[in-house]
Amino acid sequence: MAHKYFIYKGMQFPRLDYSLEVLSYVENEFQVRDDDVFNITYPKSGTNWMLEILSLIRCGGDPSWVRSVLNWERAPWVENVPGLEVALKYPPPRLLCSHLPVQLFPKSLQRSKAKIIYTLRCPKDVLVSLYHFSKLVHLFRDPGSLDSFLEDFLSGNLPYGSWFDHVTGWMGLKGKENFFSITYEELQQDPWDSVRRICHFLGKELSEEQVAAVVENASFQSMKGNKMSNFSQLRDEYMKHQHGGLLRKGICGDWRNHLSEAQSQRFDTVYRERMQGLGMTFPWD
């Protein structure tokens, strides 16, 4: 842990591309604008899929932008050093991403009408996706065995902390006019309806043809083949490209291929304890 991560307000962050100064600036000084749209997730919950959908909605389904500009420039992660630099130069209206938990998010959000789109995913699938991704990127430490990674996931001993805290924190905003939540599972099950609902929330109504173009151009296959969206342009200092890519499987329920019965039960026990007070049900419950 020591050499890969540092701690900010009790939470681990990767040393590569992150700093105490930037996290503190983002939390306390970054000015959220009323016309900002934020794509917020716990890592591996469908961040880049949503980023693609939002980019395409902005262009009425026309894929020119997503095929010519890198995803992290179309919607930079505000909390890392290069992302903040892009965000500060971004001509409004901005499209921004963040994995920050709600308590470390820019305080100026409270006074703003910026739109928040929060995407969640079955946490067992998040765990499996993150386990594989951690082996690929230099940002994260090697995950070790699945058993030990499971314990790290359940206790929140990971960058960006606990999935449970992240979800319960952000879902506390449910009901606010500028907050919209959706699951990866809903996106999979009915992408057309999901895109229509996102458009409605953004106040940008698209025709049926445009909705279909958004769905098609943000599909797993389209994104996998688009070098502006598949992370193939990340430099080798970030990613071991020979070991895999961002678009790994893109399915619901892959955890069944990885977790043993005992691991799944252990997960369920903690899940029940941590989620019982939330009073919400999700497609994976």
Q: Which residues bind ligand A3P (CB under 6 A)?
A: 41, 43-49, 125, 129, 132, 218-220, 223, 246-250, 254
Nearer to ligand A3P, 32 or 120 (CB): 120
Nearer to ligand A3P, 25 or 282 (CB): 282
Smallest separation (angstroms) from ligand A3P to the CB of 177: 25
Nearer to ligand A3P, 47 or 210 (CB): 47
Counting every residue, how long is the chain? 285
Smallest separation (angstroms) from ligand A3P to the CB of 71: 9
Nearer to ligand A3P, 151 or 254 (CB): 254
Smallest separation (angstroms) from ligand A3P to the CB of 64: 18
Strands 11-14 and 37-41: unpaired
Smallest separation (angstroms) from ligand A3P to the CB of 272: 23
Smallest separation (angstroms) from ligand A3P to the CB of 16: 16
Contact (Cβ atoms closer than 8 angstroms) between residue 55 and residue 74: yes
- Mind telling me the catalytic residues? 99
Nearest CA among 96, 99, 86 for reference residue 13: 99
Nearer to ligand A3P, 210 or 217 (CB): 217
Nearest CA among 272, 102, 221 for reference residue 282: 272
Contact (Cβ atoms closer than 8 angstroms) between residue 98 and residue 78: yes
